[in-house]
Amino acid sequence: MGVMMAALASMRGAMLICGTTSDAGKSVLVAGLCRFLARQGVDVVPFKAQNMSNNSFVTLDGGEIGRAQAFQARAAFKEPSVRFNPVLLKPGSDRTSQVVVLGQAVGEVSALSYRERKQQLLGTVLSTLDSLRADHEVVVCEGAGSPAEINLRADDIANMGLATRANLPVLVVGDIDRGGVFAHLFGTVAVLDAADQALISGFVVNKFRGDARLLEPGLHQLRALTGRPVLGVLPWREELWLDAEDSLSYNADGVVGRPQPPVRDWLRVAVIRLPRISNATDVEALACEPGVSVRFVTEPSRLADADVVVLPGSKATVSDLAWLRETGLAQAIQRFDGPVLGICGGFQMLSKHIEDDVESGAGVVDGLGLLDVDIRFQARKTLATPSDTAWDEPVTGYEIHHGQVVRNAERPWVGDEGAQTDRVLGTHWHGLLENDAFRRKFLRWAADRAGRDFEPGEVSFQAAREAQLDLLGDLVADHLDTKAVIDLLERGAPAGLPFVPPGAPAAAEQPAPAAPGHRPPPAVR
């Protein structure tokens, strides 16, 4: 340990964590490495060159980044910065995304037009990474999707395209819970060209259940086949569910978190799982409370036994409102006689009218009419980190929205633009429910209107988040070969790593690929 601490005290370096798939464990491994290194006194920061997510966060200087990078910054005991995620793509449809560069929205792109823009963004990505490496001792980078997406390799700026230009050693993490992890890990290397393979320095197996000794024959064979070691097998821990990066983590009709037994009655919260849901993490604070069962729902019958309905944020408010009507959920929400909470896009859907010539170009459309409010979309996006007093409690949050309240005939609620009736609440603030005293008042208010004998607990949401970050740091310390990781950070990828056939043509020799049929919006990864 003394030798390791001496090495840590003088180290400088960077590495890239890639995954065999989306949601394989890249984000949590980066967070775990940041917490582990920071606890050893290392000045470490996270970095994700290009993120594609509608779960975002507003930094103190008014910029927008992926929420996972904010989570990783907390793991490193750093204030979130736009430099940690210089390019953020926010899907608004199957074919288009809003592009956010260094925290500010710069326009919309289609799958094909973004390909042309990538090379312009590469300079921003590389200069940002260079500045972080100059200012901090260690940068732990996270890839996007999988480096095996060879149809996108020619203009990649987030995976091996970044690694080769910045000369980063790469670890590939695979999710054994999905099955086929050895094929995923081997295949990821085997489809890459020789230059890319030379940087793949090892593997990590994630979410293993059981006795890790059972994996040893496979681990040895994988090393024999690829010449690369497995540096750790991270066990499955059900406590790890906060701040999910990928919207695929929020399954339709899925329970959020791990519901704890109630003090008295259960309080059942139905969260509408919108097609373009954004900042779904807002409801995680509710799921931390004992006796609160939070479930994502996608069809009307699920509201029949709910006590509370939450309409969360959306990157496509008008489109998702149309989906509510197509599925019958709109009518079910309008008939629901219990408490309703709308957050950001969900708040906008509860209004009388929405005028949108910016996001959807639909003009004026009718909202659900549960709040006597009118919304107008503005070209300039509001990005803010406000504070206020609500229900006599101090609250903080963050705002990310184009829609603005232009008429409000309801009582104000939370900030300048919120609205409330006796049973319907609306706000543009994300993160509001993370304020503990306010959240408990909200739950008592909702339970009273739902007729439930419910008593919230004494949960500290920030303490719950810190406990998860500490657990991630512990998993890295206990189950990862941290000495090997430190060697990679200091020395880079080992020389002479073997080529794994068949490989792929060199990136420069590959023809420009056609728009792929990947999960939406596919070709902007």
Rounded Cα distance, 473 and 204, in Å: 15
Whether the CB-CB separation of 404 and 415 falls below 8 Å is answered with no
What does the block give as tokens for 54?
């509608």
Q: What gap in Å lies between CA 293 and CA 270, rounded to an integer?
A: 8
Beta strands 56-58; 50-52: pairing state: unpaired
Instruction: Report d(CA 121, CA 165) in Å as an integer.
Output: 14
Q: Which pair of tokens denotes residue 355? A: 């005028």
Whether the Cβ atoms of residue 200 and residue 497 lie closer than 8 Å to each other: yes
Q: Which of 184, 344, 428, 479 is catalytic?
A: 344
Q: Which of 136, 184, 430, 479 is catalytic?
A: 430
First to last CA, the chain: 41
Tell me the two tokens of residue 478: 């206990």
How far is residue 144's CA from residue 480's CA, in Å, rounded to a whole number?
22
Q: Determine whether 288 is an active site residue.
A: no
Q: What is the C-alpha to C-alpha distance for residues 148 and 74, in angstroms, rounded to an integer?
A: 30
CA distances from 39 to 5, 46, 141, 456, 489 (A): 11, 15, 18, 33, 17
Structural contact between residues 139 and 129, judged by C-beta atoms closer than 8 angstroms: yes
Measured from the Cβ of residue 164, the count of other Cβ atoms closer than 10 Å reads 17
The catalytic site residues sit at 344, 430
